[in-house]
Structure 1
């Protein structure tokens, strides 16, 4: 990440962290005045940098504690404080405009007339301990591993607009989209197109054709008809998958962050981690786009 992106994060999140810290000190009963007692060994900038290194490279808390010269519990507390701030930050798609929920994404796509692309990505997690109820709930039927899946929405350029609504790996993609309220959100829009893969077949009828999925396979009675139908079917599916390619690129950029390649921490921290990575990736993508637009024509080419 560039220095400009990190500086913007410090400027935007620093006052929020300070306000929450002061509110926490004032809410609980105290025997000493506010500001007394031990001081934090890590200032906010160091806490933010420790969180960024942890998300980007998957560095453990023990290693971060050695780098910053503090105890491991200090790093763990810092990560626990910064992770929710980044998760609530939302995906930045324009200066001063952030999308924090799926409803914001649908409203933005409907207002701008853009085409959205939706898909689900699985992240490998730790298997629950033996003899615990619901141990097989995280086993994915597709990858046959313990995973949790997140709903990803990008535009037709591959920019991440939303990443969240995390569910267990055994939940079907279409069930995840329905639980996220996608059908109800599309009921208030007109002429909005969202491209999806075959795992979402059935949403098109529920959304008046706003969710576009690849065509179903048809069968003919005669051999010449069957050959023509098969060729037409494969051509249509190839064209649809080519239009959906940007969402695969967006998911690949998310998985470049080491903490999402395989999640080694607690499973209940994964939703905030995914949203935090999506917010940081959107900041990075927007900064790169602005940099390209500001370059002279010769250097940009």
Structure 2
């Protein structure tokens, strides 16, 4: 099962690194849970786990990748549904703590880490917000309308996504309600505050972040605004110039859209059917797994395979 990428969405190498990294952390947390209170029996007594750690990790990966229900996973592994629920609730926070990975193997866990990294390597960052559909709040819940997105007109929550110029994930999180504006979410996440301590960072965004450029001394770059139709008629050539500028900006920024699309390939983020409180953990866990996949060394094609058809030398 672990060797088939269709099951987990990850290569065998990435899964092996997960077992070596998350396994000791899970064992230490379980040991601390057994020893943090007075006991009448020694730790380890009583019923044994029906799922070993590797099975628990596999259950969580399949659940995140395919949004498989706990009932189906329980029938697959021959255990009770509650066992699957406990396994997912134990492994998912450990995966969320890993966050996004960069080339050197360092993990970026906060917006401050991402901005410091971009300032250090002098690379351009791409920022956007993505919406994830969630369950409709109950009828008697206060502020029920605040989850309705003004863009998609459905109940959703919004996540902040930051990638590098190649579209590789650097951060995914800072979730908020779907009615929150993109620029408000960026301010609440601390993007403006942390950019005030840097001068050489360049972040490309869409038109939803108009106004952040003035607050960040031009470090946040938004597309050129459109002129009014009557003003365009008076200024010949301005409309074509501005359209070319917006096209060039969108061509540089489109990779963050691809990064959001790769996140949505994991079915648990296509539509989140669980509790809204755990969506942030799910986002960070999937982002960390996807960044591991993006930075996995892939075999280079052989010189013969790289030649055009009909040529062997």
| TM-score, normalised with respect to structure 2 | 0.92
**C-alpha distance after superposition, 1:202-231 (max 9, x if no partner):** 000000000000112234876653442222
User: 1:238 Cα deviation (Å)?
Assistant: 1.2
What CA distance in whole angstroms lies between the structure 2 residues aligned with 1:140 and 1:55? 24
For the residue of structure 1 that corresponds to 2:140, the secondary structure is coil
What CA distance in whole angstroms lies between the structure 2 residues aligned with 1:123 and 1:140? 10
Query: Which is further off, 66-75 or 25-34?
Result: 25-34
1:109 aligned onto 2:118: yes
Identify the residue that residue 207 of structure 1 maps to in structure 2: 216
For the residue of structure 2 that corresponds to 1:162, the secondary structure is strand
Which runs of 5 or more residues in structure 2 are unaligned? 1-9, 308-313
What CA distance in whole angstroms lies between the structure 1 residues aligned with 2:17 and 2:232? 63
1:266 aligned onto 2:275: yes
CA contact (8 A) 1:163 1:275 kept: yes
For the residue of structure 1 that corresponds to 2:175, the secondary structure is strand
CA contact (8 A) 2:232 2:239 kept: no
Identify the residue that residue 178 of structure 2 maps to in structure 1: 169
For the residue of structure 2 that corresponds to 1:94, the secondary structure is coil
Structure 1 residues 122 and 223: CA distance shift in structure 2, 3 A: closer
CA contact (8 A) 1:148 1:169 kept: yes
Identify the residue that residue 291 of structure 1 maps to in structure 2: 298
Superposed, 1:23-172 pairs within 5 Å as: 23-172=32-181
What CA distance in whole angstroms lies between the structure 2 residues aligned with 1:297 and 1:125? 48
CA contact (8 A) 1:117 1:156 kept: yes
Superposed, 1:7-18 pairs within 5 Å as: 7-18=16-27
Structure 1 residues 252 and 218: CA distance shift in structure 2, 3 A: same
Identify the residue that residue 288 of structure 2 maps to in structure 1: 279
User: 1:117 Cα deviation (Å)?
Assistant: 0.2
**C-alpha distance after superposition, 1:20-74 (max 9, x if no partner):** 1100110022111111111111111100000000000110000000111100000
What CA distance in whole angstroms lies between the structure 2 residues aligned with 1:92 and 1:132? 38
Structure 1 residues 119 and 131: CA distance shift in structure 2, 3 A: same
Query: Which is further off, 232-241 or 13-22?
Result: 232-241
What CA distance in whole angstroms lies between the structure 2 residues aligned with 1:173 and 1:221? 30
CA contact (8 A) 2:232 2:238 kept: no
CA contact (8 A) 1:151 1:163 kept: yes
Provide the aligned C-alpha RMSD in A. 1.5
For the residue of structure 2 that corresponds to 1:167, the secondary structure is strand
**Number of aligned residues:** 298
CA contact (8 A) 1:220 1:229 kept: no
CA contact (8 A) 1:117 1:155 kept: yes
Structure 1 residues 31 and 178: CA distance shift in structure 2, 3 A: same
Structure 1 residues 227 and 127: CA distance shift in structure 2, 3 A: farther
Query: Which is further off, 224-233 or 158-167?
Result: 224-233
Query: Which is further off, 88-97 or 143-152?
Result: 88-97
Q: Provide runs of 4+ in structure 1 moved above 6 Å.
A: 220-223
Which runs of 5 or more residues in structure 1 are unaligned? none
CA contact (8 A) 1:220 1:226 kept: no
For the residue of structure 2 that corresponds to 1:291, the secondary structure is coil
What CA distance in whole angstroms lies between the structure 2 residues aligned with 1:274 and 1:152? 10
What CA distance in whole angstroms lies between the structure 1 residues aligned with 2:72 and 2:228? 59
